[in-house]
């Protein structure tokens, strides 16, 4: 297929290099996304308070500002630079924290978003790529893989805050003329993933295999998730940044699932990691955790029809991730010896 035909099919519009703000760009996914923009010639600024992100994740060539997305100084930055695009990855992402402290979750995920959107509105930024969560906004869906049009019945404050973000963006589109795309991620994994929260299960298991510690599984291990490799997620963000957007009739017209369409149980995930690593360690089963879903697999038909689909198999992605974590562990050990 010729490039012009591919662009026409996907709805991607012609583009020039942009000034892009990536919030959370020192984090696991955000840093990869920032690298993706830089690689295609965009200028990139990063806002991150380093509460979970790391300085070493910030890619060369990006301009870094250490600040919270709720900081009033964010508005000054928007005015100073005049961003063409806001890519919003900064968030409170732990389901358990949201259950224990809903106010903390909403302060970051709702109030922080509003601070950014008001800054964007005042400075003329009108294009937003927003990271939502397909793993939580649908609740415990009856239909799997779950399409974007499925009922939105979140079962955690985190899910509520992510869905609220989409609703605010719909308002800003209707009233202030914003153009936005909401990417509903499934479980993203890959290099630089922090071993915390449910979303970090791959990194947790890798670290435990490397250290010879037992793998802890909450529940019976037959709960399923849709694991998508971070390199595929980067391409989804770049694609969404240039996607042609027809008139919107409702919330779901601007939302796309970013996943593989395949569910994998926690037990199967552990089996695959043992296979790619050549290591084994005992497994211990604990009580299920509150607020977590039994099954989550997302339908990617709509986004695939617009030109994006994952290219990495789960086994290949896990192999690359394990090798990265193993190299990082050796480097850290060597540094401690010195």
Given a cut of 80, whether residue 4 has pLDDT beyond it is no
Give me the pLDDT at residue 294, please. 87
Nearest to 148 by CA among 188, 174, 184: 184
**Alpha carbon distance 55, 53 (integer Å):** 7
Active site residue 158: yes
- Residue 246 phi, psi (nearest 5): -75, 170
Q: CA 295, 29, 74, 16: dihedral to nearest 10 degrees?
A: -120
Q: Looking at 127-131, 139-143, 230-234, which range is the least confident one? A: 139-143
Q: Which residue has the tokens 């583009």?
A: 15
**Alpha carbon distance 28, 23 (integer Å):** 12
Average pLDDT estimate for 126-141: 93
**Alpha carbon distance 72, 137 (integer Å):** 29
SS3 306: coil
The CATH code belonging to domain 198-224+262-298+312-337 is 3.90.25.10
Cβ–Cβ under 8 Å, residues 245 and 306: no
**Alpha carbon distance 3, 9 (integer Å):** 10
pLDDT level of residue 9 (50, 70, 90 thresholds): very low
Nearest to 281 by CA among 196, 197, 205, 221: 205
Q: CA 91, 114, 183, 138: dihedral to nearest 10 degrees?
A: 80
Average pLDDT estimate for 269-273: 97
Q: How far apart are the first and last CA of the chain?
A: 54
Find the catalytic residue in 158, 180, 189, 227.
Answer: 158
Give me the pLDDT at residue 247, please. 84
Tell whether pTM > 0.85.
yes
pLDDT level of residue 336 (50, 70, 90 thresholds): low
Give me the pLDDT at residue 249, please. 82
Spell out the domain ranges in the chain.
Answer: 3-188+230-258, 198-224+262-298+312-337
Give me the pLDDT at residue 5, please. 43
Judge if 3-188+230-258 and 198-224+262-298+312-337 fold alike in CATH terms. no
Average pLDDT estimate for 280-307: 91
Give me the pLDDT at residue 2, please. 43
The single-letter DSSP state of residue 228 is E
Cβ–Cβ under 8 Å, residues 33 and 22: yes
Given a cut of 60, whether residue 320 has pLDDT beyond it is yes
Q: Residues 64-113: pLDDT tens digits?
A: 999 999 999 999 999 999 999 999 999 998 888 999 999 999 999 999 99
Question: How, if at all, do strands 227-229 and 127-133 pair?
Answer: unpaired
Average pLDDT estimate for 207-221: 95
Whole-number percent of the chain with pLDDT over 90: 82
Given a cut of 50, whether residue 132 has pLDDT beyond it is yes
Angle at 315 between CA 313 and CA 316, to 5 degrees: 65
- Average pLDDT in the chain: 92
Which helix (H) or strand (E) segment is 172 a member of?
helix 157-176
Cβ–Cβ under 8 Å, residues 110 and 165: yes
Q: Residues 25-34: pLDDT tens digits?
A: 999 999 999 9
**Alpha carbon distance 143, 213 (integer Å):** 37
Give me the pLDDT at residue 334, please. 62
Give me the pLDDT at residue 200, please. 84
The CATH code belonging to domain 3-188+230-258 is 3.40.50.720
Average pLDDT estimate for 126-146: 93
Question: How, if at all, do strands 283-286 and 127-133 pair?
Answer: unpaired
Q: Residues 155-212: pLDDT tens digits?
A: 899 999 999 999 999 999 999 999 999 999 999 999 999 765 555 899 999 999 999 9
**Strand runs (DSSP E) across the chain, as ranges?**
19-23, 43-48, 63-66, 85-88, 127-133, 179-185, 187-189, 215-218, 224-225, 227-229, 255-258, 264-265, 283-286
């Amino acid at each position: 297929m010729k490039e012009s035909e591919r662009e026409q099919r996907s709805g991607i519009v012609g583009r020039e290099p942009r000034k892009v703000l990536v919030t959370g760009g020192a984090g696991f996914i955000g840093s990869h996304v920032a690298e993706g923009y830089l690689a295609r010639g965009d200028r990139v600024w990063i806002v991150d308070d380093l509460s979970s992100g790391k300085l070493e994740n910030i890619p060369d060539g990006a301009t870094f500002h250490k600040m919270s997305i709720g900081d009033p100084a964010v508005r000054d930055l928007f005015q100073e630079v005049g961003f063409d695009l806001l890519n919003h990855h900064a968030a409170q992402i732990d389901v358990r924290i949201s259950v224990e402290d809903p106010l903390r979750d909403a302060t970051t995920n709702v109030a922080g978003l509003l601070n950014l959107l008001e800054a964007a509105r005042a400075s003329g930024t009108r294009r937003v790529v927003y990271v939502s969560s397909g793993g939580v906004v649908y609740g415990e869906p009856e239909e799997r893989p779950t399409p974007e049009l499925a009922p939105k019945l979140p079962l955690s404050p985190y899910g509520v805050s992510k869905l609220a973000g989409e609703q605010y963006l719909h308002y800003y589109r209707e009233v202030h003329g914003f153009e936005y795309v909401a990417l509903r991620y499934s479980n993203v994994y890959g290099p630089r993933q922090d071993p915390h929260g449910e979303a970090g299960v791959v990194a947790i298991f890798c670290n435990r295999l490397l250290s010879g510690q037992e793998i802890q599984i909450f529940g019976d291990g037959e709960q399923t998730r849709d694991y998508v490799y971070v390199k595929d997620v980067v391409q989804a963000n770049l694609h969404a940044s240039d996607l042609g957007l027809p008139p919107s009739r409702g919330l779901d017209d601007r939302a796309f699932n970013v996943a593989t369409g395949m569910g994998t149980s926690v037990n199967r995930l552990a089996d695959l990691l043992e296979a790619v690593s050549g290591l084994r360690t005992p497994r211990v089963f604990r009580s299920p955790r509150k607020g977590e879903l039994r099954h989550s697999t997302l339908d990617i038909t709509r986004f695939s029809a617009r030109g994006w689909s994952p290219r990495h198999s789960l086994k290949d992605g896990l192999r690359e991730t394990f090798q990265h974590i193993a190299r990082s562990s050796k480097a850290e050990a060597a540094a401690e010896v010195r």
